[in-house]
């Protein structure tokens, strides 16, 4: 009886923790990787306006107008959106673009991952009267889609940490730089897309990031981050640095004219805590 009672307490605690985590992020945003100054703040307000807390997983695409015409790219974005929704018990996908989002919204609704309802999919045109599509920034920061990073200070923190001359565009994908190494399909696709972007407008600098407490790796207590069975923050930084070095080598080979910098986004207590430049 005592054992059953203890098990019941543990189950209740686990359920409470899961419910608390679920309330943190109910939205996945699919957006363009542009550099418009107020975009993040506007997205926060849009998400709050839909009844959620204003926190969102972020997936960005370099040329959203091509999304539904590129089957492999669209497949990857749809699968990543489904992953984010599943991980965080999300309720909605918001397609927020400078232009008409409805073709992408309609295509997402036809995806098998979202058949049967349960996930609201909607869109918004971020253009304002008299304004067109914002210019692409020559500086690109690659981040993870993890909602804990995407508050309205991330771009400024990256700019300050690396002494950038301008705000970077945010290119947010599942896994960030640790997925962008030689031989991985995602890495090949992303590099191919960046080459096309570079041909249209040269990319002067790329900032590659990983983040602490990475869920895909098991969080802060992942075996790879532990020493003698205990979480080791310094070991975690070392392991993430190894991913960054491998990713940076791929990008330097693929885009030799672009300067590549690397850094680790620190997360603490479910929030963005800082950006640490790492030499790689």
**Domains of the chain by start residue, with CATH:** 25-135 (3.40.50), 137-163+174-280 (3.40.1050.10)
Place of tokens 């971020």: 126
Distance CA 142, CA 162 (A): 14
pLDDT (0 to 100) of residue 189: 84
pLDDT (0 to 100) of residue 22: 45
pLDDT (0 to 100) of residue 87: 87
User: At 138, which helix (H) or strand (E)?
Assistant: none
pLDDT (0 to 100) of residue 182: 62
- Using DSSP's 3-state secondary structure scheme, residue 223 falls into helix
Distance CA 102, CA 120 (A): 13
pLDDT (0 to 100) of residue 253: 92
CA 184, distance to chain mean position in Å, is 18
- Using DSSP's 3-state secondary structure scheme, residue 120 falls into strand
Going by C-alpha positions, the residue among 240, 236, 262 that lies closest to residue 249 is: 262
Low-confidence ranges of the chain (pLDDT < 70): 1-23, 182-183
pLDDT (0 to 100) of residue 7: 52
Determine contact, residues 243/181, Cβ cutoff 8 Å: yes
| CB proximity list for 226: less than 8 A, separation 6 or greater | 232, 235
Distance CA 226, CA 228 (A): 6
pLDDT (0 to 100) of residue 19: 46
Distance CA 255, CA 142 (A): 15
């Amino acid at each position: 009886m005592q054992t059953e009672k203890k098990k019941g307490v543990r189950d209740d605690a686990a359920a409470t923790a899961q419910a608390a985590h679920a309330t943190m992020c109910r939205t996945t945003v699919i957006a363009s990787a542009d550099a418009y100054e107020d975009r993040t703040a506007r997205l926060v307000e849009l998400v709050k306006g839909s009844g959620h807390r204003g926190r969102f997983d972020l997936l960005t695409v370099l040329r959203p107008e091509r999304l539904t015409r590129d089957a492999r790219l669209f497949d990857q974005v749809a699968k990543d959106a489904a992953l984010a929704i599943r991980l965080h018990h999300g309720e909605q996908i918001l397609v927020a673009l400078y232009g008409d989002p409805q073709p992408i919204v309609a295509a997402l609704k036809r995806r098998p991952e979202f058949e049967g309802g349960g996930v609201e999919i909607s869109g918004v045109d971020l253009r304002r009267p008299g304004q067109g599509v914002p210019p692409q920034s020559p500086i690109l920061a690659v981040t993870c889609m993890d909602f804990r990073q995407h508050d309205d200070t991330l771009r400024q923190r990256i700019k300050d940490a690396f002494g950038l001359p301008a705000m970077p565009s945010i290119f947010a994908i599942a896994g960030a730089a640790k997925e962008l190494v030689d031989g991985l399909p995602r890495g090949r696709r992303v590099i191919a897309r960046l080459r096309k972007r570079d041909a249209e407008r040269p990319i002067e600098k790329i900032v590659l990031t990983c983040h602490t407490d990475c869920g895909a790796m098991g969080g802060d207590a992942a075996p790879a981050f532990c020493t003698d069975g205990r979480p080791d923050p310094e070991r975690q930084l070392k392991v993430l640095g190894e991913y960054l070095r491998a990713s940076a080598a791929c990008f330097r080979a693929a885009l030799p004219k672009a300067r590549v910098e690397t850094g680790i986004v620190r997360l603490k207590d479910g929030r963005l805590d800082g950006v640490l430049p790492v030499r790689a």
